[in-house]
Amino acid sequence: MYKKKEDRFEYAANLEENFLSPDEKWFNKGDNRDTWIYIKYYDKHPHVLIVDVKNNKLVAETFYRLDKDEYRQDFIRKGRGVLLQKK
């Protein structure tokens, strides 16, 4: 997984598009928090935006890109809640 902060500036410009026009949107109801997961597919890597609700406001918790193989093998297998939207 690409989680180095130094690399995030390369794709941070995609954050707004990822939120406003995701290819997939997931909802995960947790014991302590509800999380929305926005996924946008780009040429080689899906970009993932994790959003929580804090004080009745949406808060972006993290934004990163995945290797496509990692996405297929790991991300879906772990279960990301309920798929709300898929383009």
For the chain, 87 residues long, the average pLDDT of each consecutive 10-residue run is 55 84 88 85 84 87 76 58 84
- Enter the pTM of the model: 0.76
The pair of structure tokens assigned to 40 is 């946008």
Edge-first strand listing for the sheet containing 82-86: 57-65, 46-54, 34-41, 24-29, 82-86
Q: Classify residue 43 as left (phi > 0), alpha (psi -120 to 50) or beta.
A: alpha
pLDDT of residue 30: 77
| Tens-digit pLDDT profile for residues 30-41 | 778 788 889 898
Helix ranges (H only) for the chain are 5-8, 15-20, 68-70
